[in-house]
Amino acid sequence: MKADLQTLEKTASQIRRDIVRMVHGCQSGHPGGSLGCTDFFTALYFSVMNHDPKFNMDAVGEDIFFLSNGHISPVFYSTLAHAGYFDKAELATFRKLNARLQGHPTTHEHLPGIRIASGSLGQGLSVAIGAALAKKLNGDKSLVFTLHGDGEIQEGQIWEAAMFAPHNHVDNLISTIDVNGQQIDGPTKQVLSLGDLRAKWEAFGWDVLDMKGNDMADVVRVLEEAKSRTGQGKPIMILMHTEMGYGVDFMVGSHKWHGVAPNDEQLKLALDQLEETLGDY
């Protein structure tokens, strides 16, 4: 059952609370990108994607999702917990020794919902293309979704996959780039400019859509539009424009919160801005 817009926004608020608490709890992690992508994860798992929290790695008859920029694991773990993949109490173990919730998702931890290890950037699109082709071979009409950081697009493997998918008509694939203009060393324009992303992906043969990534209504609308465009010979690429750190005023728009944990005072300031809607873990 698809959640309505108000429910999605309340869920996103709780997930954002979880993110800052998880990163604060171990004084390690990546809050900025996680906060910016919260609306996307919420819409995907509670409205758009057909998935089963009982979790089966083969995912026959289900849509599947691959997180390529694995460092934003806090938003992924919180989303999975609230979607029923595992008890939300386990969020308290984030980045702890011997915990299943490692800083970058790994399959050997056997955490439900995790399909690939995604600590190394640039690999998720290639994996997703393989899964999408497998679904085609199996006659499975379900879709494959991915998420990537814009800094990740500087990786060469991304562009090999970008060529491969249109050439092989991988039209059951919906990929999204989090275009927040920030990476660990600073603004992407200063580190290594990405240029005109729409023109690049269209030149490679992708069907490209733009999304306001911190507007829940637009996130849902564009994801549904993307679904309607599958099966027409082209893979879909969504350019999702977000603000790093969205939802917490002192974190918004700064690369400095890419991988820094809030201290006690900053945590309080952040939580004061985020409504507790589903109960803290």
**pLDDT at site 43:** 98
Q: Residues 17, 276: contact at Cβ < 8 Å?
A: yes
**pLDDT at site 37:** 98
Question: Pick from 79, 72, 99: which is nearest to 259 by CA?
Answer: 72
Query: Helix (H, G, I), strand (E, B), or coil: what is residue 67?
Result: strand
Burial 93-120 (b: 16+ CB within 10 A, else e): bbbeeeebbbbbbbeeeebbbbbbbbee
Report domain extents, the chain.
5-272
Q: Which residues contact 149 (CB under 8 A, 6 or more apart)?
A: 33, 68, 69, 72, 121, 177, 178, 180, 183
* CATH classification code of 5-272: 3.40.50.970
Task: Compute the mean pLDDT over every residue in the chain, rounded to the nearest whole number.
Answer: 97
**pLDDT at site 119:** 76
Q: Containing H/E element for 146?
A: strand 144-149
The answer to whether the pTM exceeds 0.95 is yes
Q: Residues 262, 20: contact at Cβ < 8 Å?
A: yes
Give the pLDDT means over successive 10-residue stretches in the chain (281 positions): 93 98 97 98 98 96 98 98 98 96 94 94 97 98 98 97 98 98 94 97 98 98 98 98 97 92 97 98 97
* Other residues' Cβ atoms within 10 Å of the Cβ of residue 274: 20
d(CA 97, CA 13): 28
Model confidence over 86-145: pLDDT tens digits? 999 999 999 999 999 999 999 999 999 999 999 789 999 999 999 999 999 999 999 999
CA angle 279, 256, 268 (to 5 degrees): 30
**pLDDT at site 86:** 98
Q: Residues 190, 155: contact at Cβ < 8 Å?
A: no
Burial 184-194 (b: 16+ CB within 10 A, else e): eeeebeeeeeb
**pLDDT at site 254:** 87
